[in-house]
Amino acid sequence: MNNIEEIFRNSLKNIEAPYDPKAWEAMSKRLDQKLPVKNPKTSFKWTWFASGLIVIAVASYFAIQKNEPKTILADKSVQQKTEISAENQIESKGKSVKQVAKINESEITQTTNTKIENQIQFEKAHLIFNPAKIDTPIETISANALLGTPSVFKTPKTGTKYCENEIVTIQNSNDLSLGLVSSNGFNSVIKANSSSNIELNPGDYFYSYLLNGKKEREIAFTVYAKVKADFYADEEMVFYKGLPVSNLSSTNTASKYTWLNDKGVVLSKEKSFDAHFFSKGNHAVTLAIQAENGCESKITKNVRCEASYNLLAMNSFIPTSSNSKINTFLPYALLERNIPFTMQIIDPKTGQILYETKSESEPWDGIDKRTQQLIAPSTPYIWKVNLEKTEIGESKNYQGTITRFED
């Protein structure tokens, strides 16, 4: 029974009969006839108490209805707007710049969802666009790309070691100016994408440049000092073992020495040596030295020769003398040098050969082999010598005249 009453009560709870003023007035007259209205004997005190309870209940009901539902709806609204804004930001790759510009950032910053807000801020920080074309789609890039790809310095291709006074070409293939400085006070600037020829002085050289807003400095190369080449020569030429000798010596110590004549032929590789000059006049000699650091230095000087070399031959002899040093003829140098040779004595009138020898033990005694007679005195004859082995700068052929004198 109770269940049936509850069912009826619930079904009729929300039913409201339509209001008809005329029907209500007729019903009121009938009730007044059947049941006359009497003044209630209700206590005044209880009336006011009940009224107060009703007012409080009604006020509480409206307060709850006003605050709770609107708060929930407000939270849901903000969250929905935040999620929509985040989705619009994250999926904005296909949108235009105009559409993205309409995003309401104030709504994003008001969200209570910290994760969504951080994601939105991250995506916003990595959005770029091309202002030259307003319809260009926005692209998402990394933070490094947003800041610009860091520049990389391309070191010029040069050697690591140089010597004093060398000239090096430095090619700067960077898009930034390059400074070249050294410990000796040198300072030069090579413009971007250009080259410069630098004459080097001793010291350590460095590249100096500004890269990604930071001053950089790195070793470029080292330049070593040269040992200055110089030499001296004996003032007077002497003869030693039948050869003219002028001693040349380097004034500085080095690891290598190279002496050259005026034709570039190597004369010696010692610190000092005996040079042979065979013709009268100045002879250019070059000394090149190399120090322990590998640097070379050279100098060229003229060395003076006062007389031409002619095998130290005499121009007269006395065949009838008892002195063996003057009674025969053979150029003195052939006795000292011990080299293969051929000597001929020639009649200047006829061109015929009077005598010939190939041994230093067979000098000419003045006899004409054609007549087997001693040549006439005071008559000059021609001698010629052909050497099979010579020194640097020496000729193979020598000649002169020889005259017989009497005691």
Band (121; pLDDT cuts 50, 70, 90): very low
Domain presence at residue 261: yes
Region for residue 84 given its phi and psi (left: phi exceeds 0; alpha: psi -120 to 50; beta: otherwise): alpha
H or E element that contains 141: none
> Which comes out higher in pLDDT, residue 179 or 123?
179
Examine the domain organization and report whether 323 and 391 are in the same domain.
yes
Examine the domain organization and report whether 400 and 326 are in the same domain.
yes
Query: Residue 301, SS3?
Result: strand
Q: Which domain holds residue 332?
A: 316-404
Query: Residue 157, SS3?
Result: coil
User: Could you give the CA distance from residue 157 to residue 168 in angstroms, rounded to a whole number?
Assistant: 11
Examine the domain organization and report whether 400 and 335 are in the same domain.
yes
Query: Residue 57, SS3?
Result: helix
Domain presence at residue 142: yes
- Helix axis angle for 114-125 and 44-90, nearest 10°, is 30
Q: What is the pLDDT of residue 152?
A: 86
Q: What is the pLDDT of residue 327?
A: 95
Q: Tell me the per-residue pLDDT of 330-342, one tens digit each, with 9 for 90 and over.
A: 999 999 999 999 9
Among 305, 324, 350, the domain boundary falls at 305
Least Cα distance to 311 among 207, 386, 367 occurs for 386
What mean pLDDT, rounded, does the chain reach? 77
Is the pLDDT at 356 greater than 90, yes or no? yes
Examine the domain organization and report whether 104 and 178 are in the same domain.
no
Band (244; pLDDT cuts 50, 70, 90): very high
pTM above 0.75, yes or no: no
Domain presence at residue 156: no
Report the pLDDT averaged over residues 147-164: 82
Among 305, 333, 353, the domain boundary falls at 305
Examine the domain organization and report whether 324 and 363 are in the same domain.
yes
Domain presence at residue 311: no
Examine the domain organization and report whether 214 and 261 are in the same domain.
no
Examine the domain organization and report whether 236 and 218 are in the same domain.
no
Examine the domain organization and report whether 98 and 136 are in the same domain.
yes
User: Could you give the CA distance from residue 286 to residue 260 in angstroms, rounded to a whole number?
Assistant: 5
Domain presence at residue 361: yes
Task: Give how many domains the chain has, as a whole number.
Answer: 4
Examine the domain organization and report whether 289 and 324 are in the same domain.
no
